Amino acid sequence: MVIVTHCTAQAACRTHGGTAALRDLLRQATDRLREAGVEGPAREARRLWRHASFDIGARWGPGDVLPPTLVRRFRQFLAARERGVPLAYLTGHTGFLDFELWVGPGVLIPRPETEELAELGLSLLPAGRPVRCLDLGTGSGALALAVARAFPEASVLAVDTSTRALAYARRNVRALGLSGRVEVRRSDWYATVSGRFDLIVANPPYVRTEELATLPREIFDHEPRRALDGGPDGLCALEAVIAGLPAYLKPGGWAAIELGDGQGADAQRLANRAGLLVETSMVRDLRGKERFLQARWT
Ligand SMILES: C[S@@+](CC[C@H](N)C(=O)[O-])C[C@H]1O[C@@H](n2cnc3c(N)ncnc32)[C@H](O)[C@@H]1O
């Protein structure tokens, strides 16, 4: 067994009468995560290990003996993951398109389908001229930041009602150096918004209230209810967002909005009711489900 130079045999962790080597630790962790129903348990065990050992500044080989404090730290993360705390809340960050976002309890972890929404929104914006974009219910700031990064001439307003989401969004805007072009503001949908926009993007809460308890525990127990709960029919937030489009889109401006499973017909009805929206269509996600409403204002 290789013993790393900065880790003495005395300082090494002794568990079950033996020293803890990384290989054994990861194997045990993988088994425990598998038993807890975590998908990709080996990959997650490695990511938890990387997170636990990251700021120690040392690299550990599979057979190295590990300091007990580090092993304890890793096991705390492991126990939290077994209880269903999302990996991204433990590591404090997640990837979105080609960038990283800070996330934690109180803010929704952006999903892969929302990356598709970002790409849809980007495809609707004209290149090479200053554009204004509005991100309703910004959460971590994922959509607002995707637009600002892809369009150097864009200015983006990102709104949310959640104090914790707003704090994460502001942190992410600063971390990506976009404070000059992305404003993060508290607003109940359009309540504090003025002016018109070339693009409005939104991933509103769209789960029916009574369905919330059927979501995986990892989501239901840990992610913010305000980010998920779309009211009794799942359409409350969607209705508010769509109803405001004619008053906040520039002529020719586009909206791209994420929907829940089976909400396509309702979204179309809400768009018809809002009036003056043209070229409304449902866009399917990569799994083939109607997932996004795309609409233009006359
Ligand atoms: C499904 S999450 C989307 C977060 C982020 N846009 C994303 O896609 O990862 C919905 C967001 O809407 C926010 N929200 C809920 N009600 C709101 C309201 N009345 N006005 C503004 N934002 C609201 C929630 O706090 C949450 O951040």
Is the shortest distance between the CB of 188 and ligand 1 below 6 Å?
A: yes
DSSP state of 226: G
**How is residue 192 written in tokens?**
């504090």
How far apart (Å, rounded) are the C-alpha atoms in residues 211 and 234? Answer: 9
Is the shortest distance between the CB of 234 and ligand 1 below 6 Å?
A: no
**How is residue 191 written in tokens?**
């309540």
DSSP state of 21: B
List C-alpha distances in Å: 1 to 14, 69, 283: 14, 20, 56
Sequence-distant (6+) residues with CB within 8 A of 175 are: 102
> Do 199 and 133 meet the contact criterion of CB atoms below 8 Å apart?
yes
Give residue 298's pLDDT.
82
**How is residue 133 written in tokens?**
């974009």
> Do 44 and 87 meet the contact criterion of CB atoms below 8 Å apart?
yes
Identify the residue whose C-alpha is closest to ligand 1 atom 18: 188
How far apart (Å, rounded) are the C-alpha atoms in residues 20 and 68? Answer: 8
Is the shortest distance between the CB of 103 and ligand 1 below 6 Å?
A: no
Give residue 61's pLDDT.
78
β strands within the chain, DSSP E: 14-15, 18-19, 93-96, 99-102, 131-136, 154-160, 182-186, 197-202, 249-258, 277-284, 290-297
List C-alpha distances in Å: 248 to 117, 216, 241: 19, 36, 10
φ/ψ of residue 280, rounded to 5 = -80, 135
Is the shortest distance between the CB of 142 and ligand 1 below 6 Å?
A: yes
How far apart (Å, rounded) are the C-alpha atoms in residues 24 and 19? Answer: 10
pTM listed for this prediction: 0.91
| Centre of ligand 1 from the C-alpha of residue 160, in Å | 6
Give residue 7's pLDDT.
35
DSSP state of 66: -
How far apart (Å, rounded) are the C-alpha atoms in residues 194 and 185? Answer: 12
**How is residue 264 written in tokens?**
């396509």
User: Roughly how many angstroms between the first and final C-alpha of the chain, as a whole number?
Assistant: 71
Report the amino acid identity of residue 255.
A
Strand 182-186 to strand 99-102: parallel, antiparallel, or no bridges (unpaired)?
unpaired
Query: What domains does the chain contain, in order, with CATH numbers?
Result: 14-83 (no CATH), 93-297 (3.40.50.150)
Give residue 57's pLDDT.
65
pLDDT in tens, the chain (298 residues): 223 333 333 333 334 434 578 889 999 999 999 999 999 999 999 999 999 988 666 777 777 788 899 999 999 999 999 999 999 999 999 999 999 999 999 999 999 999 999 999 999 999 889 999 999 999 999 999 999 999 999 999 999 999 999 999 999 999 999 999 999 999 999 999 999 999 999 999 999 999 999 999 999 999 999 999 999 999 999 999 999 999 999 999 999 999 999 999 999 999 999 987 788 999 999 999 999 999 999 8
Identify the residue whose C-alpha is closest to ligand 1 atom 12: 137
Q: Using alpha carbons, select from 120, 133, 137 the residue that is nearest to residue 282.
A: 120
Is the shortest distance between the CB of 93 and ligand 1 below 6 Å?
A: no
Q: Using alpha carbons, select from 171, 52, 173 the residue that is nearest to residue 106.
A: 171
